[in-house]
Structure 1
Amino acid sequence: MERIKLDDLLKFKFLSSLTISPDASKVAFVVHEMNQDDNNYKSIIWLYDARTAQLSQLTSSNQDSSPLWLNDSKLLFVSWRDEKDRKRKENGEPLTPFYTIDVTRGEAKRTFELPFFVKQIKKLNENTLLFTAVYDHRLKDFWKLSKDERENVLKTLKEEKDYEVLDEIPFWSNGSGFTNKKRIRLFSYNLQTGQIVPISDELSNVEHFSDSLDGRTVLYVANRFEHVMKRSNDLYLYDLEKNESIKLTHTDNFRYTFAEFIDGKVIFAGSDMRRYGINENPKFYSLDLSSGQVELLTPDFDASLHNSVNSDCRFGSNRTFKVDGKYLYFVSTQWHDAQMYRIDGSGRIEQLTFNKGSVDGFDVLSGKIFFVGLRNMKLQEIYELVVGEEKQISQFNEWVQKERHISRPERFTFTANDGVTIEGWIMKPFGFEPGKKYPTVLEIHGGPKTVYGEVFFHEMQLLASEGYVVLYCNPRGSDGRGNEFADIRGKYGTIDYEDIMQLVDECLKNFAFIDESKLGVTGGSYGGFMTNWIIGHTHRFKAAVSQRSIANWISKFGTTDIGYFFVEDQHLATPWSDFEKLWWHSPMRYANEVKTPTLFIHSEEDYRCWLVEGIQMFTSLKYHGVETKLVMFRGENHELSRSGKPLHRMRRLKEILDWFEKHLK
């Protein structure tokens, strides 16, 4: 077998938007692939026929996404196949073109367009769709205007393109650019009349809306704010016939994760954030609409309700919760796996999947379950869950298993200084020979409340293929083991740093093939913070690559999209309540101690960990005479390594390999 290659990334397939037809006989999903020539991603809709077990490609424009079943054979989807639509979008006009196709025959037809950039769309009933879209206050009721009026509005916006007027925080958002007075708003669309009706108000960000079980009502979660966005939100019930929303919020300062109908009641998940802050794991509740009574269903449940398993081999989004019959199905991360579960109206939870890895998303209908998974160190494939057994039904990435050597992570545990068990992994390099010593790279995940697991991670596989041992662990602060384990508020750079350094010590003690004189370290986001922290507190690493990092918690507070609430929550301090504490936890404070040659990788439009963080650390090291380099990617954001332009992702990996090659070999 050959080793994993850098340009293998261009051949991987990424799967998303899996959805089952109303008669549960077919499954539609999107296959994404990198397009090197155009430096973007192809997106094609595929179909799986459960009756014949046949997979087939349904569309071919390379620009199709977001499939939605209108009936057993008719599929609605978004497509940018028309050059005129693409040019209108490039010129700043908000629109999303929709097509329909009969999956049994015929060609796709352009059916309608919406004068918004649509985020998500669902079916309410035979005649009505619900959708969320970006609402810009400068456009006001754009959808009501005539063609000439719309052109005048767009012309005015173009004339003002050099200005940004800011009067609220956050005023920008990673991946969305400037968001001042822009909201994700909920609308209905009548398929027969073309009428668009706003459901949420102009100042509310809609964070979730449910599937409708009766075709008349829908639940949605929205965060309404002026001037300063708060972390709590509200729950609403919308009635289509009355065209009104009723607030169902049961208490102040509560953060709803999602809400759905089940067994005649509302089941919702959320947290009051009182004990563990904004990252506190949600619990399940039920709400009786007739009495208004709220019941806590899962007092002992202590896990996140999302997939936090890290990988750089995903693209697009997938559903991670849905009601079917008397159950709410959901994905939860526990230890280092993301598995599928279900809960009934009484609060009883069952685990449904057990194989190691990650359930990236699923759909369920009439008891039939299909999911996108990273299983058994494979890249994403489609699976069917049949009587507890996972049946693989696609082979999009099977060539990797057949043609490439995959370094399988070997899990071990060790006991931290205070008695807590920490899990770690080691990956041996390609062509491993007993008795030989190898340079080693320590990887640190972001979050910090995410996890590393046993899934395919191209960056790690590439390092192993280039002759490096790869180490990683889930230190304190990570997800998967409850609130107490994840809670490092006010402790950044202390117990988490100690856990990571103890991982290195344990590996040096137990794996003689690690060359202690050739250790490297890298990580992104929180992992970038920790990389910056490490090089200021130890000289044991001979090279470092700090990605989308944090250097200064004081500047992060005042500049990034989440800074003003994340910094206060995670450090229990603001620049005014405890300036010294924020500075003490800032890696820049220790930059004068750094000796490690360090590469900084940052994206110009990363508003989560803004470019100034990388610049500050880079400047500090240059000032103190440390070998350093900063590589900045234009047109990219915090997601560079996961969904950045293909050529940018390739260049990023090449910069990492070149830096470690220079300093560790």
Structure 2
Amino acid sequence: MDAREAYSIKVISEIRLERLGLLYGETRIKDNDYVTTVYLKDKPILEGKISLPKFIGDDLYYVKSEGSSALMRQSLYGEPQKVVELGKVLKYEPHGKGLLILGEDPLTKAEKDAPLVTSKRKYRFDGRGLLRTRTSLYLFDNKLRKVIEGDFDVTDFSTNGKRIVVSTSQPDDDVGLNALYELNLDNGEMKRITEKEGSIVALTMNENGEVAMLGHDRGKLPWAIREVILPEEGKRFVCGNTCGSTVLTDIFDGAKERLIFRGDEILTLGQIGGEVNIYRISDGKTEKLTHGQHVVRLFDYDGESLVYSLTRPDKPSLLVRKDEIYDPNPNFKGAIPEKVASSIEGWGIITGDNPTILFIHGGPHTAYGYSFFIEFQFFAQNGFNVIFANPSGSQGYGEDFARRCVGDWGGRDMQELLQFVQDVKKQYNLTKKIGVTGGSYGGFMTNWIVTQTDVFSAAISERSISNLVSMCGTSDIGFWFNAIESGIEDPWTVESMDKLMKMSPIYHVGKVKTPTMLIHGEEDYRCPIEQAEQFYVALRSRGVEAKLVRYQGDGHEHARKGRPENMIHRLSVKLEWFNAHLK
């Protein structure tokens, strides 16, 4: 399998149960871009850079993204008409007074090129660049006007056509803490609903105006489990070990967290280890609606029918409705990983006594699981064993487990991964060389692990961390995230900087002997490219074999939804590196 073939899959990217039938999107890569075909009752009706299709009355609305974002309207028998054009359109819902739209103002070239003057710590953000415009709430009723704006983001909203609730980053925009407010559309007044701030990742309202949110209200705790919270009723529920999903995949479906609230039923996702299923909350009880070793990605529910998409290790994307399963990739079947007996949950695609690659996930509070990975299948097809696991810090095993790596990155988590490698070797009688790779926190672990052991014959570190001190001042979240993850309050004291440096791979770079490739996006603001530059220059200066690969135009998501040609190149250079050093 070559890298281009690896990305030839199609994925379900939109699901809506409409009065006229099932509306869904299918996304593929075409001509170095992502193209979506929208189907209504299994018949194609639209194609292009399209997202968020839905019917309002008898008209089909959708967002067309070509540079800017245009909200389009099309009658069944008419030509498409542009409703509004913004820099981004993120969500829209009908209201009694017009159309509510969550989005950002467009910027002219002059505005994009102008000097940026800021007094905030969060002045840029990964995937958005310099924050020259903020996410606002608009009302369109023949003309467009902002109803909420400021030097903060409106992160979500929900309405039943009368009442409007919004989540914003007003409580602490620098850190990104959210609170929930009710908006009076007549006078613009906002009444705070939630007492405490936290992370609100999805928001919904039923027909009666009752509100539910997905997230937590415990401040800046990256490892906190997510709950479904009814803030005005004082009720909260956990689905599985955490609500929502943190299980990773590199398919490009663009799935986001979602809540559905109809009548007295709330539907959301819930995670247990590496499995993600749909749960229903009703009458104060939580019920699991789907079952299986898979990861549900998208879903919709109209009070009677439930339709959803899922990914499995052997199948990139499946659409499930009643007892019918649609497979957009009928001729593709991936290898199914086997469970590995170890102290942590882990899996392996074992192709024989071949070289082995350990993959380390990012986060650290995410997880591997029963999802499809383009990269895993690619390396298995090219004669490698692929192994992956969820060490301390991973989400899906309870909050205590997720908290275990805090203040100890590269400690217990590394020992668990090293033991996992030994368990794999023993269980499958593997004798060939072993490599290691990972991104983000997984890139930190890759950098760290080669400073601590020579077990691995080659390493590839992506969007990585090498210096926790410099990252505090260069990352969009580093000034608070690095501090709390390292177990310190103020990263700028001498004592704190000393701890951060000793926890940093760059501090121990003199011990590295492993050939190491560093891959990074030029526009990564989460783990800025200076992190790779430091480690690369240090390795080369000390005579260690090293390569640096930089991708223009890509940010932190370069391996999951970056520029397609870059993603194809990335897999190719990774294969070349591991072929050269492991085979």
Q: 1:398-446: per-residue Cα shift (whole Å, max 9, x none)?
A: 1213xxxx3210013323xxxxxx11111122xx4xxxx3111111111
**Which residue of structure 2 aligns with residue 235 of structure 1?**
180
Contact conserved, 2:239 with 2:270, CA < 8 A, in 1?
no
Shift of 1:468: 0.8
Cα distance in 2, alignment partners of residues 316 and 257 from structure 1: 15
| Residues 580-659 of structure 1 mapped to structure 2, 5 A cutoff | 580-659=498-577
Using the TM superposition, give the Cα deviation of residue 564 of structure 1 relative to its aligned residue in structure 2, in angstroms: 1.0
Pick from 173, 183, 190 the counterpart of residue 134 of structure 2: 183
Q: Does the CA-based 8 Å contact 1:97-1:112 persist in structure 2?
A: yes
Structure 1 spans left out of the alignment, 5+ residues: 49-54, 81-85, 140-153, 289-293, 416-421
CA contact (8 A) 1:121 1:131 kept: yes
Q: What are the superposed Cα offsets for residues 290-323 of structure 1, whole Å, 9 maximum, x if unpaired?
A: xxxx52433x767333222211112333562111
Q: For the Cα contact (< 8 Å) 1:302–1:482, is it kept in 2?
A: no
Q: How far apart, in 2, do the equivalents of 1:502 and 1:169 lie? A: 40
Q: How many correspondences in the alignment?
A: 578
Matched residue type, 1:65: S
RMSD of the alignment, in Å?
2.3
**Corresponding residue to 1:16 among 5, 13, 16:** 13
User: 2 CA distance for matches of 1:254 and 1:470?
Assistant: 37
Q: Distance in 1 between matches of 2:565 and 2:27?
A: 16
1:596-631 C-alpha deviation (Å, 9 max, x unpaired): 001110110011111000001101111111000001
1:629/1:230 Cα in 2 relative to 1: closer, same or farther (>3 Å)?
closer
Partner of 1:46: 39
Distance apart, 1:28 and its partner CA: 1.5
Deviation at 1:74, TM superposition (A): 2.5
1:134 — aligned with what?
104
Following the alignment from structure 1 to structure 2, what is the Cα–Cα distance between the partners of residues 528 and 156? Answer: 36
Match of 1:484 among 370, 375, 400: 400
Deviations 1:447-491 (A, max 9, x none): 111111122211111111111111111111111111101112101
- The one of 130, 135, 150 equivalent to 1:202 is 150
Kept after mapping to 1: 8 A contact 2:7/2:374: no
4+ residue runs of structure 1 moved beyond 6 angstroms?
none
The whole-number CA distance in structure 1 between the counterparts of 2:193 and 2:467 is 37
2:212 to 240, 245, 267: 267
Question: What does residue 116 of structure 2 align with?
Answer: 164
Question: CA offset at residue 354 of structure 1?
Answer: 0.6
Any idea what SS the aligned residue of 1:486 has?
helix
- The DSSP-based 3-state class of the residue aligned with 2:247 is coil
Aligned partner letter, 2:8? K
TM-score using structure 1 length: 0.82
Structure 2 segments unaligned to the other structure (5+ residues): none
**Structure 2 residue corresponding to 1:506, chosen from 423, 432, 435:** 423
Quote the Cα distance in structure 1 between the aligned partners of 2:103 and 2:175. 21
Q: Deviation at 1:69?
A: 1.0
Contact 2:239-2:286 within 8 A present in 1 as well: no
Distance 1:531 1:376, change over 3 A: closer
Q: 2:345 aligns with which of 402, 423, 446?
A: 423
Aligned pair 1:460/2:376, yes or no?
yes
- Asked if 1:96 corresponds to 2:70, the answer is yes
1:170-195 Cα deviation digits (max 9, x unpaired):
11111111115x311111212xxx13
Change (3 A) 1:108 1:360: farther
Distance change in 2, residues 1:133/1:31 (3 Å): same
Code of the residue aligned with 1:230 in structure 2: it is V
> Is 1:411 matched up with 2:411?
no
Opposite residue 494 of structure 1, the aligned amino acid is G
What is the match of residue 332 of structure 2?
Answer: 400
Is 1:33 aligned to 2:28, yes or no? yes
Residue in 2 that maps onto 1:291? none
1:438 partner SS? coil
Kept in 2, the 8 Å contact 1:10–1:35? The answer is no
Residue in structure 2 matched with residue 113 of structure 1 by the alignment: 84
Q: Match for residue 62 of structure 2?
A: 77
Where 2:332 maps in the other structure, the secondary structure is helix
Percent identity over the alignment is: 28
Kept in 2: contact 1:203–1:225 (CA 8 A): no
CA contact (8 A) 2:317 2:327 kept: no
Q: Distance in 2 between matches of 1:130 and 1:397?
A: 37
TM-superposed CA distance for 1:503, in Å, is 0.2
Contact 2:467/2:505, CA 8 A, preserved across alignment: yes
Task: Tell me what 1:145 maps to.
Answer: none
- Which whole-Å deviations, capped at 9, do the CAs of 1:507-539 have from their partners, x for residues lacking one? 122111x225x1100011111000001100000
Matched, 1:249 2:177: no
The verdict on how the C-alpha distance between 1:589 and 1:371 changes in structure 2, with shifts beyond 3 A counting, is same
- Tell me the secondary structure at the aligned position of residue 41 of structure 1: strand
> Partner letter of residue 27 of structure 2?
H
**Are positions 1:564 and 2:503 aligned together?**
no
Q: Which amino acid aligns with 1:391?
A: E
Paired AA for residue 327 in structure 1? E
Q: How far apart, in 2, do the equivalents of 1:642 and 1:376 lie? A: 16
